């Protein structure tokens, strides 16, 4: 495969977008690019107030085309790491960086696909009623999609944000609980009077022996990923902070497991005279889109027009699709071929970027019936 399969205009849009450094919370330069791009096509576009939730420098960018229609196409504007000083490398079959920075393919691949398809549809006069949504802070908190206030007529959607190759899409994900435990002991001089203290590190260590690290069952995983505590080697540690997550397909199962974990930790704390403050929340809820649901039907039609076989997949990760499904908008996450996302070895194949834009064009220009 060579880069002749990639439309030169699509290639330029991708270069433009990946050349903008905009990590989570600092998406304003990308928002400005998108708004200028859409305005030039003679379409209306606006920014919402998602920065109130994200504490960033811009809200989501939204374009309601021909009154917005009943479905939306979306991708996110942030990257998880800086792409400053990016140097593109154009290999025989793919685009990469020079290995010193990320490429930003997650999710500039999705953004480029949608914008190129939009421009093409406007010029051809084939654009159907729909809504475009470009979100902030997907990589950190999903704040953009959580804040988004859809019009009541929006029934379903498509997120262009999966590392999988075009034709594949995420139809099912787990949900994720984030939790924080603060174990509080009593400080004392570790050399002169250690018996006066209650060492929070010791308590935390014993409590963690009861924690179900790793894969609990076929639909559930758990992890404590951050541990902080202590002020000095001569001080009995009086506070340890533990931060982690639990992922599962079944919300009730997650709640039951969290209740048991908190109970186990409190039991160990009580044994040593320590105490624990705990909090947890659902970072995102699971979803499951069936073949008979609107996004699957519409995507199947678009894929068939391109000679692709639609392939639903399950993911243990979250995306803006989780937020939209939680709002009652049945949404799938479409593969754009953003491979090795977040690393300096990120890349996208020319054929995948072109295919993702072809899918976007089909969805923008064909109706479900």
| CATH number, domain containing residue 188 | 3.30.70.360
Tell me the per-residue pLDDT of 12-59, one tens digit each, with 9 for 90 and over: 999 999 999 999 999 999 999 999 999 999 999 999 999 999 999 999
Q: 294 and 152 in one domain?
A: yes
Tell me the per-residue pLDDT of 200-222, one tens digit each, with 9 for 90 and over: 999 999 999 999 999 999 999 99
Radius of gyration for the chain, computed over Cα atoms and rounded to the nearest angstrom: 24
Residues 311, 168 contacting (CB under 8 angstroms):
yes
Last residue of a domain, one of 284, 308, 330: 284
Q: Please list, in sequence order, all residues whose beta carbon lies within 8 angstroms of the beta carbon of residue 339, skipping any fewer than 6 positions away.
A: 105, 163, 346, 347, 348, 349
Asked whether residue 295 carries a pLDDT value surpassing 60, the answer given is yes
Question: CA angle 196-200-203, nearest 5°?
Answer: 105
Q: Which two tokens stand for residue 246?
A: 């639990």
Asked whether residue 149 carries a pLDDT value surpassing 90, the answer given is yes
**b/e sequence 278-308, b meaning 16+ C-beta within 10 Å:** eebebbbbbbebeeebbbbebbbbbbeeeeb
Q: Give the β-pairing of 220-229 and 214-217.
A: antiparallel
Kindly report the number of other CB atoms within 10 A of residue 154's CB atom: 22
Tell me the per-residue pLDDT of 35-48, one tens digit each, with 9 for 90 and over: 999 999 999 999 99
Q: What is the DSSP string of 231-256?
A: S-TTB---EEEEEEEEEES-HHHHHH
Please report how many Cα atoms fall inside a 13 Å half-sphere around the Cα of residue 314, on the Cβ side: 11
What is the reported pTM?
0.91
Q: 192 and 338 in one domain?
A: no
Q: State the pLDDT at residue 368.
A: 82
Domain count for the chain: 2
Q: Please list, in sequence order, all residues whose beta carbon lies within 8 angstroms of the beta carbon of residue 214, skipping any fewer than 6 positions away.
A: 221, 222, 223
Q: 198 and 145 in one domain?
A: no
Q: 257 and 185 in one domain?
A: yes
Q: 25 and 157 in one domain?
A: yes
Tell me the per-residue pLDDT of 92-102, one tens digit each, with 9 for 90 and over: 999 999 999 99
Q: 61 and 12 in one domain?
A: yes
Split at pLDDT 50, 70, 90, the class of 367 is confident
Q: Which two tokens stand for residue 72?
A: 């939306």
Alpha-carbon gap, residue 243 to 69, rounded angstroms: 42
Asked whether residue 146 carries a pLDDT value surpassing 80, the answer given is yes
Kindly report the backbone phi and psi dihedral angles of residue 90, in degrees, each rounded to the nearest multiple of 5, phi listed first. Answer: -110, 95
Q: 191 and 168 in one domain?
A: no
Compare 347 and 5 and report the one with higher pLDDT.
347
Q: State the pLDDT at residue 4.
A: 59
Tell me the per-residue pLDDT of 100-143, one tens digit each, with 9 for 90 and over: 999 999 999 999 999 999 999 999 999 999 999 999 999 999 99
Q: 149 and 62 in one domain?
A: yes
Residues 155, 294 contacting (CB under 8 angstroms):
yes
Percentage of the chain modeled with pLDDT above 90: 97
Last residue of a domain, one of 265, 284, 303: 284
Asked whether residue 1 carries a pLDDT value surpassing 50, the answer given is no
Instruction: Indicate which CATH number applies to the domain containing 37.
Output: 3.40.630.10
Last residue of a domain, one of 284, 300, 331: 284
Q: What is the DSSP string of 166-222?
A: BTEEEEEE-EEEEEEEEEE-B--BTTT-GGG-B-HHHHHHHHHTTS--EEEETTEEE
Q: 217 and 357 in one domain?
A: no
Residue-number span of the structural domain to which 72 is assigned: 3-174+286-365
Mean pLDDT of the chain: 96
Q: 352 and 228 in one domain?
A: no
Q: State the pLDDT at residue 80.
A: 94
Q: 123 and 52 in one domain?
A: yes
Q: Mean pLDDT over residues 276-280, rounded? A: 98
Q: Mean pLDDT over residues 79-104, rounded? A: 96
Q: 122 and 224 in one domain?
A: no
Residues 76, 144 contacting (CB under 8 angstroms):
yes
């Amino acid at each position: 495969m060579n880069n002749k399969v990639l439309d030169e205009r699509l290639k330029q849009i991708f270069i433009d977008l990946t050349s903008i450094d905009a990590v989570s919370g600092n998406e304003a330069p990308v928002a400005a690019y998108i708004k200028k791009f859409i305005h030039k096509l003679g379409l209306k576009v606006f920014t919402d107030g998602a920065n109130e939730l994200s504490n960033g420098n811009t809200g989501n960018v939204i374009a309601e085309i021909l009154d917005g229609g009943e479905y939306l196409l979306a991708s996110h504007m942030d990257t998880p790491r800086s792409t400053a000083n990016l140097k593109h490398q154009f290999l025989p079959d793919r685009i990469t960086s020079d290995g010193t920075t990320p490429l930003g393919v997650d999710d500039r691949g999705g953004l480029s696909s949608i914008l190129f398809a939009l421009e093409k549809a406007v010029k051809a006069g084939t654009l159907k009623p729909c809504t475009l949504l470009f979100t902030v802070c997907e990589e950190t908190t999903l704040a953009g999609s959580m804040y988004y206030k859809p019009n009541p007529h929006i029934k379903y959607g498509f997120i262009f944000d999966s590392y999988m190759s075009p034709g594949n899409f995420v139809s099912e994900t787990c949900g994720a609980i984030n939790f924080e435990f603060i174990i509080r002991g009593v400080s004392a001089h570790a050399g002169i009077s250690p018996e006066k203290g209650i060492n929070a590190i010791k308590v935390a260590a014993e409590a963690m022996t009861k924690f179900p690290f790793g894969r609990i069952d076929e639909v559930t995983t758990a992890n404590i990923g951050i541990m902080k505590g202590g002020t000095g080697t001569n001080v009995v540690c009086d506070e340890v902070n533990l931060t982690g997550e639990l992922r599962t397909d079944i919300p009730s199962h997650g709640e039951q497991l969290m209740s048991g974990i908190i109970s186990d930790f409190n039991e160990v704390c009580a044994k040593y005279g320590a105490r624990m403050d705990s909090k947890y929340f659902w970072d995102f809820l699971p979803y499951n889109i069936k073949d008979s649901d609107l996004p699957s039907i519409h995507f199947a039609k678009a894929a068939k027009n391109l000679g692709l076989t639609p392939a639903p997949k399950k993911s243990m990760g979250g995306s803006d699709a989780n937020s939209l499904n939680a709002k009652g908008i049945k949404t799938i996450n479409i593969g754009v071929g953003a491979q090795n996302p977040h690393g300096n070895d990120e890349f996208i194949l020319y054929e995948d970027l072109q295919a993702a834009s072809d899918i976007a064009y089909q969805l923008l220009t064909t109706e479900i019936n």
